[in-house]
């Protein structure tokens, strides 16, 4: 992949005698040794695993930082999160419910239009016009509803995500409340805010079977945003550009990509993705509109270092690090265990606080003797909600926040 | 440049009939139209100007977001700053005092070593060991001492930077105070903290003529950091990887790249770069150790939109935006003028506050009638220091914070 520069982990791999020829060969393809940008933190380079290739619309992702499950599902490796709070765009997970629209929708970003309904003065506005009406930036944790599905013992259908269908990124756009005020305020007393994606749907099919249209409680509009930049770059196609609805604290699917319609509605969307998908059905129930929807996220954290994905850990002093978020509330504290949850110590929250919807980095200095250790973390939010010990079993494997499932067993030598 | 994906501005340029063949030609080189990552915000693509090529060690920069002055001096375009607070790594300016070391120093980052002197237990530590001792993340404005030199009428020697030898980025590393405590504290009562860069120096020359070694007041250690990540990716060679000293609030040159020695010293470094370069000499004086050194930055701001670099501005409602920082103090307020400084209005600070060393984004909604307007901004810090109206003239053109010089004249139609 010539657009993805060779990273140091892969270079180390090639540095052995057996790799010398391969390294020379790579050099010949035009990879300039001196042109390294900031590079992958992943412990296990993709070259050592039977990696699927990145799909064309996400070919610019850092192949060594991600696990490609399919063309529409790409996960960040646990070892790639680093300690810098904001997930780099080229390392962020991707989950598309449908193939993305043609990239030509980015040719003239400002011409993209979005229809606003359920306000006193409903209108269609271009992105160019939105940009003159208001601007703000916020950090949110973006997490797929199914993140952690891979830990459910009943192997629910869907991508077997581990920890990495999540990231913390900066969004820039217009606050939805600013836009609503500009259009005269909400009309009546609708219960939901409903966003509709701009994916191309096949002809001759009931659109409700495929359309990405999600309804969330109306009051989420207070902190929601129509975003055109992520991490201070124009929003890529893979992440919903030119315009995406951001509902902070709500799982990824509610953050509708390529948004073409935002409506305040009495009812939830009739689309399948709202009515029966993304429902938390108990194991003996059928997913459907009577079951809770995958909406707000709860408190969750996981260890990112040391020892993720088999990275070697030396006996002695170590800094146990990870990420923690509260979902819709801020992080109050994080505790860390190095004995699988028998005893806990409070970790330090490090780095800048980017607001209640962002995650916090945490760190605890420990002495790790040789042997096997299970590292775990547990976050408490400012409302006193504590990360659950055990997953809540459900048919499709949504919203796994179990600290026990997310613990990391490391071999120290 | 195959590692730099084609951006929308350039694609628009190629979309005209004259550009059709060129576009087809580019397609044939393997640039996949559907593989666009987040792309440049620059108004005027490099393709329209007689652009110098990016040097190999920074070939991964976004060519359309930067102005390449030379192999060691690359500036971010005013139109590329965006509204997302953190400057993307591929858009950040580069200024090297010497050519960077060979990229092989990144082959085994954890093996890099740094000598700590002037503490009770002086030692050489590897980066691998530093990573077990402490970790924090902070945002700082990184700005070249000569940023704004291009506005000095006497055309000082050196790069003619306009606004873009600056950015706001996240650093992750070990706080220097944590490291100093670990080594038993400071020995005696030294006046300075002195960092030495690891660049290769030519043989047979007095090292003081070339070595990058800078001294700053000792107390800067309280907030300083030895950083191994920038924007949550391993620090690139272009920006000082594997390890860089960060002295927040101090100009770029004090943030020593490839740091191999950090010492607490009674005297300032004897190096030329400390003794005579980076001195603020009045126009009739010779730069030398009696003149103030380019150390702490003062309050400064500039407009980034609308209309930067000739981007079209339509008459009517507009959001005037920009960036503002206090140097060593936090931003208190920003005022904006659309009549060249005759009248001012307070702008809103938008986005998350990343701490006193970061910059803030600001925005003011205005009505811009057709015609020519001069947009200006003026920041005040929490200590009551206000951005200066006029530059302080000095031989080498350092520390230009003049709001008048940085004003932006736009044509509205």
What separation, in Å, do the N-terminal and C-terminal C-alpha atoms of chain A show?
A: 35
Please check whether residues A305 and A269 belong to one and the same domain: no
In Å, how far is A88's CA from the nearest CA of chain B?
Answer: 7
Paired tokens of A184: 């005269």
Yes or no, beta carbons of B35 and A88 under 8 Å apart:
no
Yes or no, beta carbons of A85 and B232 under 8 Å apart:
yes
State which residue of chain B sits closest to A233, comparing Cα positions: B38
In Å, how far is A90's CA from the nearest CA of chain B?
Answer: 8
Yes or no, beta carbons of B83 and A30 under 8 Å apart:
no
Contact B283, B154 (CB under 8 A): yes
Please check whether residues A241 and A149 belong to one and the same domain: yes
State which residue of chain A sits closest to B137, comparing Cα positions: A351
Place of tokens 């209309």: B307
3-state secondary structure of B268: coil
Please check whether residues B112 and B256 belong to one and the same domain: yes
Yes or no, beta carbons of A350 and B170 under 8 Å apart:
no
Please check whether residues A152 and A238 belong to one and the same domain: yes
pLDDT for the residue numbered B15:
30
In Å, how far is A92's CA from the nearest CA of chain B?
Answer: 12
- Chain A / chain B CB contacts < 8 angstroms: 243
Question: What residues of chain A lie within 8 A of the CB of B35, using their CB?
Answer: 3, 56-60, 103
For residue B172, the surrounding DSSP H or E stretch is strand B166-175
Question: What residues of chain A lie within 8 A of the CB of B363, using their CB?
Answer: 134-135
Please check whether residues A209 and A309 belong to one and the same domain: no
Paired tokens of A380: 């408490």
Which DSSP state fits B54?
Answer: P
- Least confident residue range of A17-31, A75-89, B64-78, B226-240: A17-31
Please check whether residues B127 and B232 belong to one and the same domain: yes
In this structure, the number of other CB atoms found within 10 A of the CB of residue B211 comes to 22
Question: What residues of chain A lie within 8 A of the CB of B103, using their CB?
Answer: 33-36
Question: What residues of chain B lie within 8 A of the CB of A74, using their CB?
Answer: none
In Å, how far is B370's CA from the nearest CA of chain A?
Answer: 16
Q: Give the integer Cα–Cα distance in Å for B256 and B267.
A: 18
Q: Give the integer Cα–Cα distance in Å for A157 and A165.
A: 16
ipTM over cut 0.90:
no
Which DSSP state fits B405?
Answer: T
Question: What residues of chain A lie within 8 A of the CB of B236, using their CB?
Answer: 36-39
Average pLDDT over every residue of A280-305: 97
Please check whether residues B121 and B236 belong to one and the same domain: yes
State which residue of chain B sits closest to A91, comparing Cα positions: B233
Paired tokens of A215: 């309804």
pLDDT for the residue numbered A348:
98
**A63 within domain boundaries:** no
Between strands A225-230 and A233-234, the pairing is: antiparallel
Yes or no, beta carbons of B229 and A319 under 8 Å apart:
no
In Å, how far is A247's CA from the nearest CA of chain B?
Answer: 16
Positive or negative: CA dihedral B232, B235, B240, B242 = positive
Paired tokens of B350: 């938008």
Phi–psi pair at A221, nearest 5 degrees: -60, -25
Yes or no, beta carbons of A84 and B237 under 8 Å apart:
no
**A267 within domain boundaries:** yes
In Å, how far is B117's CA from the nearest CA of chain A?
Answer: 23
Question: What residues of chain A lie within 8 A of the CB of B2, using their CB?
Answer: 2-3, 30
Please check whether residues B271 and B304 belong to one and the same domain: no
Question: What residues of chain B lie within 8 A of the CB of A136, using their CB?
Answer: 350-351
Range of the domain at B328: 300-412
Yes or no, beta carbons of A39 and B234 under 8 Å apart:
yes
pLDDT for the residue numbered A51:
79
Phi–psi pair at A5, nearest 5 degrees: -65, 150
Mutate one of B19, B84, B131, B360 to test the A interface: name it (highest A CB count within 10 A): B84
Question: What residues of chain A lie within 8 A of the CB of B242, using their CB?
Answer: none
Minimal Cβ distance to B236: which of A30, A36, A138: A36
| A75: pLDDT strictly greater than 50 | yes
Q: What is the 3-state secondary structure (H, E, C) of chain A?
A: CCCCCCCHHHHHHHHCHHHHHHHHHHHHCCCCHHHCCCCCCCCCCHHHCCCCCCCHHHCCCCHHHEEEEECCEEEECHHHCCCCCCCCHHHCCEECCCCCCCHHHHCCHHHCEEEEECECCCEEEEHHHHHHHCCEEEEEEEECCCCCHHHCCCCCCCCCCCCCCEEEEEEEEEEHHHHHHHCCCECCCCCEEEEEECCCCCCCCCHHHCCCEEEEEHHHHHCCEEEEEECCEECCHHHCCCCEEECCCECHHHCCCCEEEEEEECCCCCCHHHHCCCECCCCCCCCCCCCCECCECCCEEEEEECCHHHCCECCEEEEEEEEEECCCCCEEEEEEECECCCCCEECEEECCCCCCCCCEEEEEEEEECCEEEEEEEEEEECCCCECCCCCCCCCCCCCCCCCCCCCEEEEEC
Average pLDDT over every residue of A368-389: 98
Contact B351, B85 (CB under 8 A): yes
**A74 within domain boundaries:** no
Q: Give the integer Cα–Cα distance in Å for B135 and B138.
A: 10
Which DSSP state fits B86?
Answer: S
Paired tokens of A214: 């999600």
Place of tokens 């730099």: B4
Q: Give the integer Cα–Cα distance in Å for B217 and B264.
A: 10
Instruction: Please write the tens of the pLDDT for every residue from A315-350.
Output: 999 999 999 999 999 999 999 999 999 999 999 999
Please check whether residues B336 and B252 belong to one and the same domain: no
Yes or no, beta carbons of A38 and B234 under 8 Å apart:
yes
In Å, how far is B118's CA from the nearest CA of chain A?
Answer: 24
**B313 within domain boundaries:** yes
Q: In a 10 Å sphere around its CB, with 0-12 CB exposed, 13-18 middle and 19+ buried, how is residue B84 labelled?
A: buried
State which residue of chain B sits closest to A322, comparing Cα positions: B135
Rg (C-alpha) for chain B, rounded Å, is: 22
Torsion of the alpha carbons at A292, A293, A297 and A302, rounded to the nearest 10: 90
Mutate one of B34, B106, B138, B312 to test the A interface: name it (highest A CB count within 10 A): B34
| A31: pLDDT strictly greater than 80 | no
Q: Give the integer Cα–Cα distance in Å for A394 and A153.
A: 11
Please check whether residues B316 and B242 belong to one and the same domain: no
pLDDT for the residue numbered A399:
98
State which residue of chain A sits closest to B84, comparing Cα positions: A232
Mutate one of A336, A351, A356 to test the B interface: name it (highest B CB count within 10 A): A351
Q: Give the integer Cα–Cα distance in Å for A344 and A220.
A: 35
Q: Give the integer Cα–Cα distance in Å for B10 and B40.
A: 9
pLDDT for the residue numbered A102:
95
Which DSSP state fits B393?
Answer: -
Q: What is the CATH number of the domain that holds B314?
A: 2.60.40.650
**B405 within domain boundaries:** yes
Contact B218, B190 (CB under 8 A): yes
Q: What is the domain count for chain B?
A: 2
**B58 within domain boundaries:** no
**A259 within domain boundaries:** yes
**A290 within domain boundaries:** no
Positive or negative: CA dihedral A29, A33, A34, A40 = positive
- pLDDT per position in chain B (413 positions), as tens? 223 333 433 332 233 323 332 332 222 222 222 334 545 666 554 444 568 999 999 999 999 999 999 999 999 999 999 899 999 999 999 999 999 999 999 999 999 999 999 999 999 999 999 999 999 999 999 999 999 999 999 999 999 999 999 999 999 999 999 999 999 999 999 999 999 999 999 889 999 999 999 999 999 999 999 999 999 999 999 999 999 999 999 999 999 999 999 999 999 999 999 999 999 999 999 999 999 999 999 999 999 999 999 999 999 999 999 999 999 999 999 999 999 999 999 999 999 999 999 999 999 999 999 999 999 999 999 999 999 999 999 999 999 999 999 999 999 99
Which DSSP state fits B363?
Answer: E
**Mean pLDDT across chain A, nearest whole number?**
90
Phi–psi pair at A360, nearest 5 degrees: -110, 145
Please check whether residues B333 and B244 belong to one and the same domain: no
In Å, how far is A138's CA from the nearest CA of chain B?
Answer: 6
Phi–psi pair at A371, nearest 5 degrees: 125, -175
Yes or no, beta carbons of B59 and A131 under 8 Å apart:
no
Paired tokens of A172: 């820039």
Point out which residues pair with A321 in neighbouring strands.
A305, A363
Minimal Cβ distance to A352: which of B3, B131, B137: B137
Q: What is the CATH number of the domain that holds B240?
A: 3.90.420.10
pLDDT for the residue numbered B331:
98
In Å, how far is B182's CA from the nearest CA of chain A?
Answer: 13
Can you say whether residue B157 is alpha, beta or left, with left for phi > 0 and alpha for psi between -120 and 50 degrees? beta
Yes or no, beta carbons of A135 and B319 under 8 Å apart:
yes
Instruction: Please write the tens of the pLDDT for every residue from A162-213.
Output: 999 999 999 999 999 999 999 999 999 999 999 999 999 988 999 999 999 9
Please check whether residues B192 and B315 belong to one and the same domain: no
């Amino acid at each position: 992949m010539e657009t993805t520069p060779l990273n140091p982990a892969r270079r180390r791999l090639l540095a052995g005698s057996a790799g010398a020829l391969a390294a020379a060969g790579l050099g010949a393809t035009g990879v300039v040794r001196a042109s390294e940008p900031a590079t992958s933190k992943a412990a296990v380079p993709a070259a050592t695993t039977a990696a699927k290739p990145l799909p064309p619309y996400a070919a610019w992702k850092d192949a060594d930082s991600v696990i490609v499950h399919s063309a529409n599902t790409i996960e960040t490796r646990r070892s790639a999160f680093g300690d810098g709070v904001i997930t780099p765009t080229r390392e962020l997970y991707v989950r598309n419910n449908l193939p993305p629209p043609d990239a030509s929708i980015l040719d003239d970003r400002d011409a993209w239009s979005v229809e606003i309904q359920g306000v006193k003065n409903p209108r269609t506005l271009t992105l160019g016009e939105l940009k003159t009406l208001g601007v703000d930036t916020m950090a949110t944790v973006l997490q797929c509803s199914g993140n952690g599905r891979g830990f459910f013992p009943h192997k629910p259908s869907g991508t077997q995500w581990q920890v990495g269908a999540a990231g913390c990124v900066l969004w820039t756009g217009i606050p939805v409340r600013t836009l609503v005020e500009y259009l005269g305020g909400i009309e009546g007393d609708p219960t939901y805010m409903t966003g509709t994606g701009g994916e191309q749907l096949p002809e001759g099919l009931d659109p409700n079977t495929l359309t990405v249209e999600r309804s969330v409680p109306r009051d989420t509009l207070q902190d929601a945003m129509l975003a055109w930049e992520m991490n201070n770059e124009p929003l890529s196609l893979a992440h919903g550009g030119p315009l995406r609805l951001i509902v902070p604290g709500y799982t990824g699917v509610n953050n509708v990509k390529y948004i073409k319609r935002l409506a305040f509605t009495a009812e939830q969307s009739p689309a399948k993705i709202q009515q029966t998908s993304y429902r938390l059905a108990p194991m003996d129930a059928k997913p459907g509109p009577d079951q809770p929807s995958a909406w707000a996220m709860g408190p969750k954290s996981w260890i990112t270092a040391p020892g993720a994905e088999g990275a070697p850990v030396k006996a002695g002093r170590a800094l146990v690090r990870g990420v923690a978020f509260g979902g819709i509330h801020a992080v109050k504290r994080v505790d860390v265990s190095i004995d699988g949850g028998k005893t806990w110590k409070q970790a330090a929250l490090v780095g800048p606080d980017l607001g209640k919807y962002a995650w916090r980095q945490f760190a605890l200095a420990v002495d790790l003797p040789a042997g096997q250790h299970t590292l775990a973390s547990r976050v408490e939010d400012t409302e006193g909600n504590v990360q659950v010990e055990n997953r809540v079993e459900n048919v499709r494997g949504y919203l796994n926040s179990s600290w026990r499932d997310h613990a990391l067993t490391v071999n120290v030598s």
